[in-house]
A and B are shown apart, each in its own frame.
Chain A
Amino acid sequence: MSAQSKPVAAPLIQLRGVHKHYGDYHALRGIDLEIRQGEFFSLLGPSGCGKTTLLRTIAGFETPSSGTLMIDGRDMAGVPANHRPTNMVFQSYAIFPHLSVAENVGFGLRRDPRPRDQKSRAVAEALEMVGLGGYGSRAAHALSGGQRQRVALARALILKPKVLLLDEPLSALDKKMREQMQVELIRLQRTVGITFILVTHDQEEALVMSDRIAVMFEGEIGQMADPERLYRRPNTKRVAEFIGKMNLLPGDVAIEGNQILVDTAGLGRGAIEAEQAPGGVMPGRTTVGIRPETLGLLFPGETTDRRLAEGVVDEVVYYGDMTYYDVRVAGVERPLTISMKNLIGRPVLEVGAATQVVWDERSLVVLSR
């Protein structure tokens, strides 16, 4: 899923220099953000980074200390949550315990001018859409976690909001349920075409579901990009370490003619493209990142035309389909982590075995501080 798969439209949500202070605590530090119509957008970051505050600001539960928020071309200053074209799926789901499933889903239809039977048909359709057809008369407290979440989704989507806000909606579910709901949410978002904004601390969840991701640290957006770009070309060490696993090596950048040369400790010199330094090309000492799956080990009998470096196996972690090796190479303090698919004929190496690390300069990424 890349951003190109959907037509580019005018920004539906626009934030300009949004700050939020709680007393001395500076929760949001100048957020500039544009989210397009129909986008699946994720706010990703560690707990306390301000992602939930940002979501609640869009929903109208928090007032920014400064800056502007526009939704659909309208300034939202002074507009309370109940008058905003947004609906939210809460982390706790916030299902009303005194109402039935159907009453929960139809809660927001009170002011809807349609006659009663049309409203109950809309409720039945919304329940059908989230896979809970026929559950309408059940008591809300008798539902499982996954079902509660679906009720919360139906309750928000029935109002056809311009934006659906999801606050860590999957964090309370077990792993299997979570993966199933991820797929269902993507499908649902494509069907209804509503802009989704997801808050999550789970980088995998964000990568799987989003068209674009904003990674947040300490109230600021560290990087904003589509999942592939974010994973392959993180611009800072912080982003690189937060998303997936990344080997960080000291390196030297030099410019010779129109070539950018990187000398990576333990691996060697190689020429890179400018886009491999998303934080900008700065000659001198730097940090070079390389993902475990873009490195390899040369097994006996195999040949390669890629670059090689001598190493010794330091640690072996066997995952069944994959094996993770920690390999020491000369000139680097921390061993390199390398993931290998356990293909036919590939032995699992022993700790202490001498080996050769296969690498490629195309997978290097130069990180700024």
Chain B
Amino acid sequence: MGIFDTSPRARAAALVAPPFAYALLLLAVPLISIVLISFWTQTGLTLSRVFTLDNYREIFSGPIYIWGNQNRWGVLPLSLFVSATVTLVTVLLAYPVAYFVSFHVAPQRKSLWLFLITIPFWTSYLIRVFLWKVILGYNGVVNTGLIELGLIQEPLDFLLYNLNSVIITLSHAYAVFAILPIYVALEKIDRSLLEAAQDLGENRFTTFVRVTLPLSVPGIVGSVLIVFIPTIGDYVTPELMLGAGGRLISNVIQTQFLQLNNWPLGAALSIITMLAVGVVSLVFILLNQRWLRGRG
């Protein structure tokens, strides 16, 4: 006797129950709590559960979070800009790698190449971020190297503790996530299509533009989403690479929750960020669907 003697529907429910409970507890409950808390107020050590829009009003009224002023951008647009740049750089760098593995590596060697590409993941993310500090720092590998070679006299100071370093570090960290979806999309392209394009008068470059690139768009869209969404929430890299005073939206949220003990404002900022990311993702998904319409 047990669940396997019951109806198929009950059996299915029983099988789904554990992951469902898991998703409910670890995804839905925190999310709903955040939404609720964003409408409350912090009063000393406790939360006042009276519905209020004050947190949202604070976010939208001042220049800090969204609007910015002449001297600096709002934190959220700046963060979106950084994530977009990271996404662009990552996808632009990932595409040639994926292309190379898919088109120029012998079939029996492909899995070895994919394995090699994942090797950076064997090192902890935190350690990789610190390694970039060692590489880009004032007395880091790049600067000492360039000085030794006599190419520069003084260390370059635009390498570390600014947005460049955040973009470099994140692009490296998310490269694999961008390579794999593009690789899969390229693998799915029927090679006879490339020969057909050549047969119809196109050279290798125009074949790429007219056939390979359009057919790999689903992979590119996948990569964009996979890189863009998590990078906006990454607070370790900006924390370590921006230095004093530098703040992206993830750091601001973390500060509200953990240092200023203002959960409601932190929650409201999270919701606004989530909505912004959601809108960007939606645009991409719709673009992709439009693209996929009329294709197999």
| A residues adjacent to B (C-beta < 8 A) | 59, 61, 80-82, 86-88, 90-92, 94, 96-98, 100, 107-108, 110-111, 139, 141, 155-156, 159
Min CB distance, A158 to chain B, in Å?
Answer: 9
B192, B197, B211, B215: which has the most chain A beta carbons within 10 Å? B192
Say whether B294 contacts A100, CB under 8 Å: yes
Across the A-B interface, give the 7 residue pairs with the lowest CB-CB distance, nearest first.
A108-B200, A141-B296, A94-B196, A139-B294, A94-B192, A81-B198, A88-B199
- Chain B residues near A156: list those with CB within 8 A: 199-200
Given contacts A80-B203, A91-B192, 19 further A-B pairs with CB under 8 A are A61-B195, A81-B198, A82-B201, A82-B203, A90-B192, A92-B192, A94-B195, A97-B215, A97-B295, A97-B296, A98-B214, A98-B215, A107-B197, A108-B200, A110-B202, A110-B210, A139-B294, A141-B295, A159-B200
Min CB distance, B293 to chain A, in Å?
Answer: 8
- For B190, give its contact among A82, A94, A111, A141 (CB under 8 Å): A94
Q: Please provide the chain B residues from 142 to 184 with a CB less than 8 Å away from any CB of chain A in the complex.
A: none
Complex CA gap A80/B194 in Å reads 14
- Chain A residues near B201: list those with CB within 8 A: 82, 108, 110-111, 159
Min CB distance, A100 to chain B, in Å?
Answer: 7
Say whether B203 contacts A96, CB under 8 Å: no
Tell whether B193 is near chain A: CB-to-CB under 8 Å. yes
Say whether B192 contacts A139, CB under 8 Å: no
Query: Residue on B with the closest CB to A91?
Result: B192
Say whether B198 contacts A82, CB under 8 Å: yes
Complex CA gap A110/B202 in Å reads 9
Query: Residue on A with the closest CB to B192?
Result: A94
Say whether A107 contacts B296, CB under 8 Å: no
B196, B203, B206, B210: which has the most chain A beta carbons within 10 Å? B196
- Chain B residues near A96: list those with CB within 8 A: 193, 196-197, 211
Say whether B193 contacts A94, CB under 8 Å: yes
Complex CA gap A92/B191 in Å reads 10
- Chain B residues near A107: list those with CB within 8 A: 197, 200, 210
The contact string, 1 if C-beta is below 8 Å from chain A, for chain B 255-278, is 000000000000000000000000
- Chain A residues near B215: list those with CB within 8 A: 97-98
Min CB distance, B97 to chain A, in Å?
Answer: 23
The contact string, 1 if C-beta is below 8 Å from chain A, for chain B 205-247, is 0100011001100000000000000000000000000000000
- Chain B residues near A59: list those with CB within 8 A: 199
Query: Residue on A with the closest CB to B214?
Result: A98
Complex CA gap A100/B195 in Å reads 19
Complex CA gap A98/B202 in Å reads 17
- For B200, give its contact among A97, A139, A141, A155 (CB under 8 Å): A155
Say whether A88 contacts B196, CB under 8 Å: yes
Query: Residue on B with the closest CB to A83?
Result: B201
- Chain A residues near B296: list those with CB within 8 A: 97, 141
16 A-B pairs whose Cβ atoms sit less than 8 Å apart in the complex = A80-B203, A81-B198, A81-B199, A82-B198, A87-B199, A91-B192, A96-B196, A97-B215, A98-B214, A98-B215, A107-B197, A110-B202, A139-B295, A141-B295, A156-B199, A159-B201
